[in-house]
Amino acid sequence: MSVCIHIEHLSKTFTKDKRSITALGDFSLDISDGEFVCLLGPSGCGKTTALRIVAGLEKGTYGTVQVHGKKVSSAGPGRGMVFQEFALFPWRTVRKNIEFGLEMKGVPEQERVRISSKFIELVGLKGFEDSPPSELSGGMKQRVGIARALANEPEVLLMDEPFGALDAQTRNLMQKELLRIWAATGKTILFVTHSVDEAVFLADKIVVMTARPGKVREIIPVELQRPRDRTSREFIAVRGKVLTELDEEFEIAQARERSKE
């Protein structure tokens, strides 16, 4: 399987109130074509920063990010982004929200309708094409966000806690729907989450990050058949391993903070 995303020695330093804060430090990771990878780590470890750099929405201070061998230097249609906030245009219908990127690229109307119809059906929104976002549930709004990202035919789908604002029942449903969409499209997915359960349910592998400055602490493969049973002994064992890594990293971070006092 060929490498889709190649991240090498990536670091990112922000300047705030004349203070330098290093969010990422020597973060390296390879993700294969069609792989579903979750980033998990302590709050503030740079998960979202890494995702935004891969998307081209921010630039790293040092290091290299490549997608299929091409250096990422700016945002582009090859990397679709799905945010935690639904980020839909309230004055545009479901179809028109999904077609927004296509309009910006100058795709003719007939072709836009064909593409949007394909993804409306894929994400299960047939019958809601002409509905405004105000008439949709949270889960349905996020389906629109996913369809909008996919409509541009990206090589990679980047997802920043896309289900974080949903209630538990809807979140579980959307996780299953995302796996269905992933299986149907074969996209490479890099997914940021704070939920260990979500990561074990979704991922081919889980990248556990260190506390800030974030780098890879451990890569844990999830070799469980899908659909996964959250109550199974095997699922609980993987979740326990991930929690152990996170707990140990939390202790290291706490000790580091105490040493500064």
Q: Which residues, given as ranges, of the chain have pLDDT below 70?
A: 260-261
Please tell me the total count of domains within the chain: 1
Residue 20 lies in a domain: yes
Beta strands in 33-152 (DSSP E): 36-40, 62-67, 70-71, 79-82
Range of the domain at 25: 1-31+47-73
In-domain check, residue 52: yes
In a domain, 60, yes or no: yes
Integer Cα distance of 150 and 181 in angstroms: 10
pTM for the model: 0.94
- The pLDDT, as a whole number, for residue 261 is 62
Report if residue 62 sits inside a domain: yes
For the segment 207-245, what is each residue's pLDDT rounded down to a tens digit? 999 998 999 999 999 999 999 999 999 999 999 999 999
38 in any annotated domain: no
Between CA 183 and CA 25 the distance in angstroms is 33
